[in-house]
């Protein structure tokens, strides 16, 4: 591209990885995009990506910058959002300032802990989040009571809740915690807190889809409210070696594996690796 070449604004946004072309068109129409400090709402507007200051929600669009891919082990008590008007803690506070332009892939509610991907690659986010690409999410779940085999089978067949059909891809009971685990002290932010109470059961649940609070709503409808919920796997990624509140960069192989879960390929550039592997979260009090 020459120094004076222009292209349509929505194409530049899509090349930056922030969104698909269609989603970029919506962002423009919604007044969320500015060029040179002026809001642009005309979808067909042209820009010079190398000279113009293009921003989406105030964040600079850089179409040629290498993409970044982060895996965070979210503790309980943080919102999965870029910002919160109520000034509640968000997952962005667990990252250094240099990574706060990333956006979360999907959501974990405030009371749920576990693995959360963040990126600036819209293509990657779509491949991971959309159920048609087959990237499963695995959860460690503690529920009240003892679900019968019939209830577990019903969870797989599905239950209609508030007009939505909710179901899990698979579910299995883990029984009571073993001696070694039950003697382990609880870890702040982790859902895997053992209990000897006969009124609690531990399950492993796999989701293919990801409807709003699907596991919590489903098991409440089955008469076994969720007490603790932790996402321990996303595809082949696990929380092993990643303490609550810590993050790390994905490796190029992990990125490719997630995107090619059904034979796809990642066309965007892999981001520069973060030094030192897993990093502790910045203390939001400090």
Give the residue numbers annotated as catalytic, written as ranges.
109
b/e per residue 69-79 (b: at least 16 CB within 10 A): bbbbbbbbebb
Query: 182-195 burial string, b = 16+ CB within 10 Å, else e?
Result: eeeeeeebbbbbbb
175: buried, middle or exposed (CB in 10 Å: 19+, 13-18, 0-12)?
exposed
At 118, give phi and psi (nearest 5°): -130, 145
Residues in the chain, overall count: 286
Contacts of 232 (CB under 8 A, 6+ apart): 114, 115, 138, 139, 140, 192, 238, 239
Helix (H, G, I), strand (E, B) or coil at 70: strand
Q: Determine if residue 20 is left, alpha or beta; phi over 0 gives left, psi from -120 to 50 gives alpha, anything else beta.
A: beta
- The answer to whether residues 249 and 121 touch, using CB atoms and an 8 Å cutoff, is no
């Amino acid at each position: 591209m020459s120094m004076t070449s222009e292209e349509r604004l929505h194409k530049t946004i899509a090349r930056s990885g922030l969104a698909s072309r269609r989603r970029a068109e919506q962002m423009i129409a919604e007044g969320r995009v500015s060029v040179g400090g002026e809001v642009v709402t005309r979808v067909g507007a042209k820009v010079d990506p190398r000279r113009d200051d293009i921003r989406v929600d105030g964040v600079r669009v850089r179409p040629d910058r290498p993409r970044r891919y982060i895996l965070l082990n979210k503790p309980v008590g943080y919102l999965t959002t870029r910002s919160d008007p109520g000034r509640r803690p968000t997952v962005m506070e667990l990252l250094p300032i240099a990574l706060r332009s990333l956006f979360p892939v999907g959501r974990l509610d405030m009371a749920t802990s576990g693995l959360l991907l963040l990126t600036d690659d819209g293509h990657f986010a779509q491949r991971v989040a959309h159920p048609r690409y087959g990237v499963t999410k695995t959860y460690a779940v503690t529920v009240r009571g003892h679900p019968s085999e019939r209830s577990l089978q019903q969870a797989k067949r599905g239950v209609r809740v508030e007009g939505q059909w909710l179901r899990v891809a698979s579910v299995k009971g883990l029984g009571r915690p073993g001696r070694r685990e039950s003697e382990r002290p609880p870890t702040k932010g982790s859902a895997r807190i053992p209990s000897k109470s006969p009124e609690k059961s531990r399950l492993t649940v796999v989701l293919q889809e990801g409807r709003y609070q699907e596991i919590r709503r489903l098991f409440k409808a089955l008469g076994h409210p969720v007490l603790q919920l932790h996402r321990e796997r996303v595809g082949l990624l696990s929380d092993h070696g990643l303490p609550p509140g810590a993050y790390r960069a994905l490796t190029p192989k992990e990125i490719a594996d997630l995107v090619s879960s059904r034979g796809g390929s990642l066309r965007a550039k892999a981001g520069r690796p973060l030094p030192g592997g897993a990093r502790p979260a910045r203390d939001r009090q400090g």
